[in-house]
A = this chain, B = another copy of it.
Amino acid sequence: MNPETLSALGEPNRFRIVELLRTGPRSVNDIRGRLGLRQSQVSQHLTVLKAVGLVEAEPHAQQRLYKLRAQPVKQLHKWIDRYRCIWEERFEQMDELVEEMTRKEKSDAAGRK
């Protein structure tokens, strides 16, 4: 995973665009109307999203249909999946480390006496 993708999604309006595109492909003007943004804003954000590979465009006459790309979404899922050990609430590591520190403190104190 690269932080660029996350950074792109971190911008509120881009996030909204992505959320909208989840429900299906949309034209620029469609997005503009639904999200209440200026046309240039939508195009600019879509350019950023396209640059990081999150979306792609399909031309239809003057319109461009934007849709999400599978790969980065899949990658994001794979990345966050590596954090299972966290969200499944395993605190053994923490406990171990705390224990270790406590032992060290005690031995330090003992050694210093």
Contacts and interface: CB of A to CB of B under 8 A. Distances in A.
A29 B10 CA distance: 28
A110 interface: no
Contact of A80 (B80, B85, B105): B80
A86 B68 contact: yes
Contacts of A71: 87
- Count this chain's copies in the assembly: 2
Interface in A36-89: 58, 60-61, 65, 67-68, 70-71, 73-74, 76-77, 80-83, 85-89
A67 B92 CA distance: 12
A12 interface: yes
Main secondary structure of the interface of A (DSSP, over half): helix
Interface residues of A, number: 42
B60 A86 contact: no
Interface of A: 3-4, 6-12, 14-15, 22-25, 58, 60-61, 65, 67-68, 70-71, 73-74, 76-77, 80-83, 85-89, 93-94, 97-98, 101, 105
